[in-house]
Amino acid sequence: MTIEEQICQNAIRHPASIALITPEEQVTYAQLWERCLLAATNVRRKYGLQKGDRIILAASANIDFIYAYFGIHMAGGVCAPIDPDTNETRFELIKNSTKPVCTMGVLHKVAGTQTAPFSEVLTPCDKIDPYQTPDPEQIADILFTTGTTGAPKGVALNHKNLTAAALNINTFIKNTAEDVELLALPVSHSFGLGRVRCVLSKGGSLVLLGSFANMKKFFEQMERFHCTGFGMVPASWAYIKKMSGRKIGEFAGQLRYIEIGSSFMPIPDKELLCELLPDTRICMHYGLTEASRSAFMEFHSEHDYLNTAGKASPNVEVKIFDTEGNVLPTGAEGEVCVKGEHVTCSYWNETPERFAKDFYDGYFRTGDCGYLDAEGYIHLKSRIKEMINVGGKKVSPMEVEDILNTIPGIEDCACVAMPDPEGVMGELVKAFIVSKDGSLTDAAIIEALRPKLEAYKLPARIERIDAIPKTASGKVQRLKLK
């Protein structure tokens, strides 16, 4: 069943169960289904939406956004969620690519573009159109990647992809209809939108917070609605810890699970979460927009593997391939490739022939370099395009960064390739450092690294900057540092 069909089943079986919670109202599953049907009817009548037509959603954690999102699917349309703070250049790229019948929501940085409010989909109608089940192979969403190394791509996900991903995630995290999840993630990205689908497909309750900006409100909502879980990226945890210390530990008795995004998270932070939440299922995922949550690990039960990206998710296969498309043995480094029904069906406006090049024997090429150990855990090294070639020897920037981040006084860092000024080694390692410690010299940093890294991996140059450029999900944008 599609996510929408699962929501329908929840409305039939448990109509009075609470689906959505805001400070103003609590929406039952029966009401959620009725409003999504109304939204589907309105997008057809107001915008002439036909099967396969696109609508851009400047997505915010607004309750009406949820009705619009599912309503567009139910009307046979395709959603293209974008960040409300999308700049004009990026918006024009997405608009020209998708050719939408309309844009909904609020765009803060794009002038002169007419947008419809989400609330418009709730205009009363004399007669509601009946629900028609979409083809599982039909495209449901187009998510444009943030782009850490190049231009963003439109990742097309069909209904089967979305359903498979939700099933895989819920199976690992063990979500149930009894869960009450606090949503503070942006719904314009794969992670936040995925949490919406996961909770509602299981019949749980979703508390719409919006963001982690207001810690007082975050903890108030946690307590008021007795939330059993939430999702966050490592940057959110750093903010929570900075603003509230160990307070999250006060909710150890009620938090059943946390899902964490897959950008870098220091081992001490993982250890601290384990200490504060000894009985909480703390799950960290690895994946891409094209292959959502392809691997998982749980901090307590897999404590000895906190330095890995976990194992393949339920119903997912992971293999390592070389550049010729051959499967590599255990321990050999190559490209991490994944297979499963959650993997993208295509790239928007890209030929099938070009899309086929992103696969090795049915396994999607993630672009990540790594290896599998004997237990099946994934050890990531770096993005393949980001590997630094020092005289023929490959250096993973993540390996250098992991050690840099252990040096007292370094708040954040990122490493990239720089040309060898002597022209001998081809490339050398350059480190960007965020530090307020004026006494921490470059020489001291190198001396701290020297016992832990081979000489060719040591940074040839260190540059101090105010902040490391990152995507909204916390991934380093190395291209902006070159």
Contact 3, 163 (CB under 8 A): yes
The position carrying tokens 């370099």 is 369
Instruction: Write out the two tokens for 459.
Output: 């940074």
Q: Is 244 exposed, middle or buried (0-12, 13-18, 19+ CB in 10 A)?
A: middle
Q: For residue 148, what pLDDT is reported?
A: 45
Assign residue 367 a region (left: φ > 0; alpha: ψ between -120 and 50; beta: otherwise). Answer: left
Contact 273, 299 (CB under 8 A): yes
Q: φ, ψ for residue 151 (rounded to 5)?
A: -65, 145
pTM score of the predicted model = 0.86
d(CA 386, CA 149): 8
Q: For residue 266, what pLDDT is reported?
A: 85
| Average confidence (pLDDT) per 10 residues, the chain, 482 residues | 97 98 95 97 95 95 94 97 90 94 94 90 92 92 73 90 98 97 93 97 96 93 97 91 96 97 85 98 95 97 96 98 96 96 96 95 95 96 85 86 93 94 90 94 96 93 94 78 84
- Strand partners for 104: 57, 116
The position carrying tokens 């057809």 is 44
Radius of gyration of the chain measured on its C-alpha atoms: 23
β-pairing verdict for 205-208 and 18-21:
parallel
Q: φ, ψ for residue 405 (rounded to 5)?
A: -70, -15
- Quickly count: other Cβ atoms within 10 Å of residue 24's Cβ: 6
Q: For residue 149, what pLDDT is reported?
A: 45
SS3 of the chain: helix, strand, coil, percent, to 5: 30, 25, 40
Q: For residue 262, what pLDDT is reported?
A: 67
Q: What is the distance, to the nearest Å, from the Cα of residue 201 to the centroid of all Cα atoms in its chain? A: 18
Q: Is 253 exposed, middle or buried (0-12, 13-18, 19+ CB in 10 A)?
A: exposed
β-pairing verdict for 180-183 and 205-208:
parallel
Of the CA atoms within 13 Å of residue 458, those in its CB half-sphere come to: 16
Contact 55, 48 (CB under 8 A): no
Q: For residue 405, what pLDDT is reported?
A: 92
Contact 140, 157 (CB under 8 A): yes
d(CA 40, CA 33): 11
Q: At what angle do helices 29-47 and 63-74 cross, to 10 degrees?
A: 60
Q: For residue 61, what pLDDT is reported?
A: 82
Contact 202, 176 (CB under 8 A): yes
Contact 358, 346 (CB under 8 A): no
| Torsion angle (degrees, nearest 10) of CA 238, 190, 311, 323 | -110
Task: Catalogue all structural domains in the chain, each as residue range(s) with its CATH number.
Answer: 3-378 (3.40.50.12780), 387-481 (3.30.300.30)
β-pairing verdict for 180-183 and 229-232:
parallel
Q: For residue 385, what pLDDT is reported?
A: 81
d(CA 311, CA 332): 16
